[in-house]
C-alpha cells in the first residue's frame, strides 16, 4: 500500500511540467510565476538576472535561475518542458537594448529551447507585430516592432511547438477575466491588464488548440477560456 502511493506520488511528480519564465522579475512575469506556482501541474522556474531578485521568485513559490538575455543563458534550460518569454528591455532604454534584449535575446531563447528539446514556447509579443508595416509608428516604436516581429518569425520557423500572444497596451488594473481574442483583431481599440495577459500565457501552456498559432488579445466581455477556444 505504502509502495503503491509512493509510486503514484512519483508518477504525479513526473507529470508536472517545468515551466521556465524568462523575464520573471517583470510586472507580468511575476504574475505568471505566481499563477504557475499555484497550480499543482506545474513547477515554476523564474529566470532573473541578478542574485537579489531570486528572493522575489522564491516568495512567489517558484525556483529562481540566473540568466541574462545579453549573455549566454543556456544553463537556465536544465530540465525545462515549456518556456514563457515575458521579458523586454522596457521604454526607458534605447534602440541598442531593444535589439540586444527584445530581438537577439528572444531569438537566443528560442534557439536554446530548440537545442534543449523544449516541448512548447510561449511568446509574449505585441498587438500588430504580425505586420508592423500596417502600423503608424514613430522611430523608437519601429525598432521595437522590428524586434518583436523578427522574434515571432524566428519562433514560427523554429520547428518548436509555439503560441504567440499579442496583447494591446498593458495596464496595471485588477484582472477582469474577460477578453476578446482573434488571430487578427478586427477592432484593435482598447487595452488589457497585465494580470489578464499573465492568465492567458499560463492558459496557453496546456491548450493544444493554441499550438502553432498567434493571437491578438484585448480586454472585452468573453471569459478567457471561451475566447481562447474560439480564437
Give the residue numbers marked as catalytic: 144
**Residue selected from 84, 88, 107, 201 as contacting ligand NAP according to rule CB under 6 A:** 88
Alpha-carbon span 218 to 170, nearest angstrom? 9
Among residues 89, 163, 193, 219, the one that binds ligand NAP under rule CB under 6 A: 89
Least Å from the CB of residue 114 to ligand NAP? 19
**Residue 158 to residues 46, 68, 173: CA-CA distances in angstroms?**
23, 22, 35
Site string for ligand NAP, 30-49 (x = CB under 6 A): -------------------x
Size, binding site for ligand NAP by CB under 6 A: 23
Question: Judged by CB under 6 A, which of 29, 46, 62, 128 binds ligand NAP?
Answer: 29
Q: How far apart are CA 63 and CA 106, in angstroms?
A: 21
Select 9 or 90, whichever has its Cβ closest to ligand NAP.
90
Q: Stretches 12-20, 87-95, 113-121, 174-182: which one binds ligand NAP (CB under 6 A)?
A: 87-95
In angstroms, rounded to a whole number, what is the distance separating the alpha carbons of residues 52 and 6?
A: 37
Closer CB to ligand NAP, residue 23 or residue 64? 23
**Cα torsion at 94, 95, 99, 100 (round to 10°)?**
-30
> Measured from the CB atom, is 108 or 120 closer to ligand NAP?
108
- Asked if 208 touches ligand NAP (CB under 6 A), the answer is no
Q: Which residue is nearest to ligand NAP (CB)?
A: 88
* Binding region for ligand NAP (CB under 6 A): 23, 25-29, 49, 68-70, 86-90, 101, 105, 124, 126, 167, 169-170, 194
Amino acid at each position: 500500500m505504502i509502495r503503491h502511493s509512493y509510486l503514484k506520488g512519483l508518477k504525479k511528480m513526473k507529470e508536472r511540467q517545468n515551466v521556465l519564465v524568462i523575464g520573471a522579475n517583470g510586472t507580468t512575469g511575476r504574475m505568471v510565476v505566481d499563477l504557475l506556482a499555484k497550480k499543482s501541474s506545474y513547477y515554476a522556474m523564474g529566470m532573473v538576472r541578478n542574485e537579489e531578485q531570486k528572493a522575489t521568485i522564491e516568495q512567489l513559490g517558484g525556483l529562481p535561475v540566473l540568466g541574462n538575455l545579453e549573455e549566454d543563458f543556456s544553463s537556465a534550460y536544465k530540465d525545462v518542458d515549456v518556456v514563457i518569454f515575458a521579458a523586454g528591455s522596457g521604454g526607458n532604454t534605447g534602440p541598442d537594448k531593444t535589439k540586444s534584449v527584445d530581438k537577439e535575446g528572444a531569438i537566443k531563447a528560442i534557439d536554446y529551447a530548440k537545442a534543449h528539446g523544449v516541448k512548447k514556447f510561449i511568446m509574449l509579443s505585441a498587438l500588430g507585430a504580425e505586420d508592423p508595416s500596417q502600423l503608424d509608428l514613430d522611430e523608437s516604436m519601429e525598432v521595437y516592432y522590428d524586434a518583436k516581429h523578427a522574434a515571432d518569425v524566428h519562433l514560427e520557423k523554429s520547428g518548436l511547438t509555439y503560441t504567440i500572444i499579442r496583447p494591446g497596451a498593458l495596464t496595471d488594473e485588477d484582472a477582469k477575466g474577460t477578453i476578446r481574442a482573434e488571430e487578427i483583431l478586427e477592432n484593435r481599440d482598447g487595452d488589457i491588464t497585465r494580470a489578464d495577459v499573465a492568465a492567458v500565457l499560463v492558459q496557453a501552456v496546456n491548450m493544444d488548440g493554441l499550438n502553432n498559432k498567434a493571437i491578438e488579445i484585448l480586454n472585452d466581455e468573453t471569459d478567457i477560456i471561451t475566447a481562447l477556444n474560439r480564437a
